[in-house]
Amino acid sequence: MNTLTLNQTKQWLKQSPNPLTRTLFRQIKAVHRFEIPAPGVVVAPLYSAYCGVRGLFSTLTRILWWTPLFKGRLTQIGRNLYLYGGLPYISGPIQISLGDNCRVSGQSTFSGRTSAAQAPELRVGENVDIGWMTTIAVGRRVEIGNNVRIAGRALLAGYPGHPLDAEARAAGLPETDDQAGDIVLEDDVWLATGVSVMAGVRIGSGTIVAAGSVVTHDLPANKLAGGVPARVIRSLDTESNKGRTECHDS
């Protein structure tokens, strides 16, 4: 029975006024929605056992498989790498170095510009989080300082992947050198969920970029920034925050 005939039969069962047809339709629905009893005293331990087995399997594969494979692709690796959720996708001639105590999602992507004169370089400091589905595309150099937090679905776009000229793009040519640029995240920067940072951008130490923002130009240190394009919203300096609190309380 092809898909069209099957769909026509379903519609006939649903819409037919015939009592026997309606009864048959209700019985089919009852079979489709059938479920076995699930008392909590039985299924709760089963779920706990499932979580335990899944956790054990995940830990073993992380320690014995994914982490060693990932380390085999790195130029330099610090101590206590915590790689979770699989193996990151790595493409292009990229050189990657990680500092101590980094946490990297296995659902992240690292790419290097294939047409660069020198191998693109990603340098990550110590105590850095690189979150789920984050993409770091290195045009020439991406430098991530210490204690940086990069939330899920962030994008560091050091190169665009295609030229601006339509004919060159149609011919499959790579981007031009002037389209690629360095990206620097200084110490203690926090990129919230879905932040995009464009080529040629430096974000100053301690600055926080709000979720969904697009950073197209440099941001100074110790600021809260957000928007498209991102702009400074307010200062995060201790003295500025103190004065802000006093005004609010008064």
- The whole-number pLDDT of residue 36 equals 84
Q: 206-217 burial, b for 16+ CB within 10 Å, e for fewer?
A: bbbbbeebbbee
Asked whether residue 220 is domain-assigned, the answer is: yes
- For residues 19 and 166, give the distance between their C-alpha atoms in angstroms, rounded to a whole number: 64
Which two structure tokens, joined as six digits, stand for 167?
Answer: 């004919």
Domain of 200, in residue numbers: 73-237
Asked whether residue 168 is domain-assigned, the answer is: yes
Tell me whether residue 248 is one of the annotated catalytic residues. Answer: no
Which two structure tokens, joined as six digits, stand for 33?
Answer: 């929605």
Residue ranges of alpha helices (H) inside the chain are 3-15, 19-32, 40-61, 67-71, 166-170, 238-249
Dump pLDDT digits (tens) for 115-171.
988 999 999 999 999 999 999 999 999 999 999 999 999 999 999 999 999 999 999
Q: pLDDT below 70 — which residues of the chain?
A: 1-4, 238-250
Choose the catalytic residue: 32, 162, 217, 248: 162
Share of the chain above pLDDT 90, in %: 76
Asked whether residue 11 is domain-assigned, the answer is: no
CATH number, domain of 157, equals 2.160.10.10
Asked whether residue 173 is domain-assigned, the answer is: yes
- For residues 16 and 13, give the distance between their C-alpha atoms in angstroms, rounded to a whole number: 6
pTM of the model: 0.83
Asked whether residue 116 is domain-assigned, the answer is: yes
Q: Please state the domain count of the chain.
A: 1
Mapped onto helix, strand or coil, the DSSP state of residue 96 is strand
Asked whether residue 19 is domain-assigned, the answer is: no
